[in-house]
Amino acid sequence: DAKTTQPPSMDCAEGRAANLPCNHSTISGNEYVYWYRQIHSQGPQYIIHGLKNNETNEMASLIITEDRKSSTLILPHATLRDTAVYYCIASNAGNNRKLIWGLGTSLAVNP
Amino acid sequence: DTGVSQDPRHKITKRGQNVTFRCDPISEHNRLYWYRQTLGQGPEFLTYFQNEAQLEKSRLLSDRFSAERPKGSFSTLEIQRTEQGDSAMYLCASSLIGSDTEAFFGQGTRLTVV
């Protein structure tokens, strides 16, 4: 399972875009990149995932580099409710699909 | 679809007691996972079910821990002879079988062993 590396913390002004980077230089060809977030004392919440192509949904956009060694999660207009720990995970494509979590990035959205 | 639910949300127990947690996954989900999370850390994988079969257990799951999913629906996680080191958030997640699916998590059960 590929290891991911994220900055421990980031700040963002309310209303601005939050760009959260993730390095996964050892990712294999069949491993997806997943993003989850966890608001204090709650269970993790799924955000988005992708394999090769950039992805967008109602919550965020995921930009994956062509060599797949890094990705960026973009929250286009951050709100105070987006304050959370964001986890980037390279999920194995085996039968179990378990997630191997790192320490994530603690994002603080400031008014 | 009410999402993944876990019960109880909080449990305080004395060292040496047994505790059991329940997880009700999203109804059509075949896969069910248990994770454990301590303060300041990301979740750690404990075990995985596909329908009623327990297909993988982490080395973190000592012999004091047992998980079941008897009918392929809800699951229970039991910890026998609890220790203070067992204090953590226990998270349950479920997903559909497939190579491109996401897991949905419950709110967790926070266990405190005193």
pLDDT tens, residue by residue, A27-80: 888 888 999 999 988 999 999 999 999 999 999 999 999 999 999 999 999 999
- In this predicted structure, what is the pLDDT of residue A31? 87
The chain B residue lying nearest A46, using CA atoms, is B104
Instruction: Tell me whether A43 touches chain B (CB under 8 Å).
Output: yes
CB contact under 8 A, B105 and A98: no
The chain A residue lying nearest B30, using CA atoms, is A96
Contact in structure between A63 and A72 (CB atoms under 8 Å) = yes
Q: Tokens 């990705």 identify what position? A: A71
B92 residue type, one letter: C
Interface test with B, best of A1, A48, A99, A101 (most B CBs within 10 A): A99
pLDDT tens, residue by residue, B21-35: 999 999 989 999 999
- In this predicted structure, what is the pLDDT of residue A93? 57
- In chain B the beta strands, taken as DSSP E runs, fall at 5-7, 10-13, 19-24, 31-37, 44-50, 53-57, 65-68, 75-79, 88-95, 104-105, 109-113
CB within 8 Å of chain B, chain A residues 53-82:
none
Q: What is the mean pLDDT of residues B80-109?
A: 91
Residue A101 banded pLDDT, cuts 50, 70, 90:
confident
Q: Is the pLDDT of residue B109 over 90?
A: yes
Question: How far is the C-alpha of A45 from the C-alpha of A90, rounded, in Å?
Answer: 16
Instruction: Tell me whether A1 touches chain B (CB under 8 Å).
Output: no
CB contact under 8 A, A99 and B103: yes
